[in-house]
Chains A and B, each alone.
Chain A
Amino acid sequence: MKTIKTGNEAMAEAMRQINPDVVAAYPITPATEIVMIFSQFVADGLVDTEYIAVESEHSAMSACIGASAAGARVMTSTSSQGLALMYEMLYIAAGLRLPIVIAEVNRALSSPINIHGDHSDTMGARDSGWIQLFSENSQEAYDNIIQAVKIAETAKLPVMVTTDGFIISHCTEVIEMVSDDEVKKFVGAYKPARFLLDIKNPYTLGAIDLQDYYFEHKRQEAEAMRNAGKIILDVAADFDKKFGRKYEFFEKYKLDDAEIAVVCMGSASGTTKVVVDELRSKGIKAGLLKLRVFRPFPYNEIIKELSSVNALAVLDRSDTFSAYSGPLFTEITSSLYTSLNSKLLTLNYIYGLGGRDISTEQIKSVFDDLAKISQTKKVENLINYIGVRE
């Protein structure tokens, strides 16, 4: 069914169709709408979720963790400072292998305070053991949330699905929704193997784990994350078969024969596609790799796709204040370094912090830089900032 939805509406609708057992959440711009819309669904009896309007994001994630450990299917939503306040609990959710799903709306982190969309919040949680799926638009946000439930429960790992604050969360788009019944069938019933409310089989969860076991448990968690890659692809294949929309680790946009290419995540991919089309019409072999799965990072698969590329620009919508580049660039270049393609000319662009707009002209100039570099074979500025007054 075709319908018009903002990113927040699309995510809330997906949550309604999933009808989780428990949602515990705390409002924060630009994710507030998701919990507002969802609480109306609860109030109107459209879902039979236990909704807990907690007093903070820390308690939201704590309650989600309790509920998930108790055997419930659990979701929440947050953004920015909210995700940061959950930080301690994110690691605990992942370490206890609880399949919680967050609808996370990307937003800049304070300070200075800023409510607009960049990826700093999600990147801050990149090593917490959560699977991270990025969405280009409302459609993908909707589809990703539905898939996330299945991925989480199969991988026994929590999943965050992101949209870019305001750019996706508050802009209306036409999306194709699946029927309630089909979503219900797709996600199926949640049957955890062990859960606290199974009082006939009591068990201790969250025990103290000292030098003699902690390392093994962490090793298992790392392995679970590696195994999650295949699960993500399987769920996507199933989704494609049922609903006819194809998802993978990333989308290759005119990448197969590209000589110059951009890697980016989230809403900037749409803008980049426009530029790629324009350049292609002029006979320039430009391409895009739009990353959907940032965690687990599909390094092998990415590198394989870059074999024909001479020069590559990695666009980061967040900065790091101590590493030598944006986080996505670090991932890509370290993957390249250990592969045969370590000679690929790469450069990093930090853009869009605090929700600053990125235009087609700016992306075009990135491709211009790439064209120049692939001729001169020289990278002058490794790290670049787009659209900032220096």
Chain B
Amino acid sequence: MANLKELSKKEELFTGGHRLCSGCGAGIVARQVLIACEKPVVIANATGCLEVATTIFPYTAWKVPWFHSAFENAAATIAGIEAAYNALKKKGKITEEINFIAFGGDGGTYDIGLQALSGAMERGHRILYICYNNEAYMNTGIQRSSATPKGANTTTAPSGKRSTGKIQARKDLTAIMVAHNIPYVAQTTLSFHNDLIPKVQKALAVDGPSFMNILQPCRLGWGYPPEDTIRMGRLAADTCIWPIYEVENGLYKLNYKPKEKNPVTEWLKPQNRFKHLFSPGNEEIIKQLQEDVDKNWEKILSNCNT
């Protein structure tokens, strides 16, 4: 468990003054991750909200070495940085221990960046890849990604007279990462800092690649008031829409079990993107969503042997 008092004394390596929306979860994720870092760290960031809103030249919100090259290649880029580190360390040109973290949105991770991510994980670079998952392409204006939940209204899968929003269920990227047999995979949200921070520390400690899928409520794309970001993450966990677990060397562990498993509607209702699902005639979608969530939750529970 992260000691909040100790953590609060640490220097802020991700500073305020960036231009993320008020209440944006991406900034909260970045801040918590950097607070977790005990060694010096170099960051690579994919194109997306976190990147554009924190580094508007000549300003930057990052007090650590930070790099952006393109949208789909944060994993390949950080792999190159790590390879340079290994080479320069071997030659005695660098002596410090350094950790390497890549940040990508769900678009840059689940979709266009999946190949580079899979390649980097398979090759075994000692890097932590963090997907800050706001369930759509937010930076280009809330388009659907393969992380978008079924039924959500997005600008490329809009709800309308003949549409109920996104038709397909989301892809289970965390499972895909587990299938890479890497030492550490975890799923969490920013609402549990004492889950998120130790997970980052665990991930950085393993000798090999690690991956974290962090659900990031997006006040703009999801459509809720900015002060509710942390509550939205908790609702996702309490409705079991987003199970909180980790997989260490193939062994699953559940990190959070809601006292009472709440119905998905509790998570759907406060969000504008699901508003249309509550119109008469759309009950079936909500039912399907609940079924999908239940099935997945059972699977996770059985994987975790609880």
Contact of A22 among B44, B68, B84, B98 (CB under 8 A): B84
Compute how far the CA of A66 lies from the CA of B24 in the bound complex, rounded to whole angstroms: 28
Cβ A89 vs Cβ B70 within 8 A: yes
CB neighbours (8 Å) of A196 from chain B are 42, 65, 67, 81
Residue of A52, A59, A66, A89 with most chain B CB atoms under a 10 A cut-off: A66
CB neighbours (8 Å) of B58 from chain A are 207, 213
CB distance from B14 to the nearest CB of A (A): 12
Cβ A72 vs Cβ B119 within 8 A: no
Interface residues of B in 73-130 (CB under 8 A from A): 73, 75-81, 83-88, 90-91, 94, 96, 98, 115-116, 118-120, 122-123
Compute how far the CA of A380 lies from the CA of B74 in the bound complex, rounded to whole angstroms: 54
Verify if B51 is at the interface (C-beta below 8 Å from A). Answer: yes
Verify if A50 is at the interface (C-beta below 8 Å from B). Answer: yes
CB distance from B150 to the nearest CB of A (A): 30
Contact of A204 among B55, B87, B118 (CB under 8 A): B55
Per-residue CB contact flags for chain A residues 197-225 toward chain B (1 = under 8 Å, else 0) read: 11100111111111001000000000000
Q: Once A and B bind, how many residue pairs between them come within 8 Å at the CB atom?
A: 165
Verify if A49 is at the interface (C-beta below 8 Å from B). Answer: yes
Compute how far the CA of A69 lies from the CA of B91 in the bound complex, rounded to whole angstroms: 18
Q: A50-B83, A58-B116 are in contact. Are A66 and B55 (CB under 8 A)?
A: no
Cβ A210 vs Cβ B91 within 8 A: no
Verify if B135 is at the interface (C-beta below 8 Å from A). Answer: no
CB distance from B73 to the nearest CB of A (A): 4
Compute how far the CA of A216 lies from the CA of B90 in the bound complex, rounded to whole angstroms: 38
B83 to chain A: closest residue by CB: A50
B123 to chain A: closest residue by CB: A52
Verify if B2 is at the interface (C-beta below 8 Å from A). Answer: no
CB neighbours (8 Å) of A151 from chain B are none
Number of interface residues, chain B, beta carbon within 8 A: 46
Q: A53-B123, A62-B77, A207-B57 are in contact. Are A199 and B65 (CB under 8 A)?
A: yes
Compute how far the CA of A206 lies from the CA of B78 in the bound complex, rounded to whole angstroms: 14
Contact of B87 among A21, A62, A66, A208 (CB under 8 A): A21
Interface residues of B in 29-79 (CB under 8 A from A): 40, 42, 44, 51-52, 55-58, 60, 62-70, 72-73, 75-79
Cβ B42 vs Cβ A50 within 8 A: no
CB neighbours (8 Å) of B73 from chain A are 58-59, 62, 89
Cβ A213 vs Cβ B76 within 8 A: no
CB neighbours (8 Å) of A50 from chain B are 83-84, 86-87, 90
- Ordered by A's residue number, 16 sampled pairs between the chains whose C-beta atoms are within 8 Å are A21-B84, A55-B122, A62-B69, A62-B73, A63-B76, A63-B77, A65-B80, A66-B76, A68-B84, A74-B84, A92-B70, A199-B64, A199-B96, A204-B66, A206-B55, A206-B67
A-B residue pairs, 6 tightest by C-beta? A66-B80, A55-B119, A63-B80, A206-B68, A72-B84, A70-B84
Query: Which residues of B are in contact with A by a Cβ distance under 8 Å?
Result: 40, 42, 44, 51-52, 55-58, 60, 62-70, 72-73, 75-81, 83-88, 90-91, 94, 96, 98, 115-116, 118-120, 122-123
Query: Which residues of A are in contact with B by a Cβ distance under 8 Å?
Result: 21-22, 24, 48-50, 52-56, 58-60, 62-72, 74, 88-89, 92, 96, 196-199, 202-210, 213
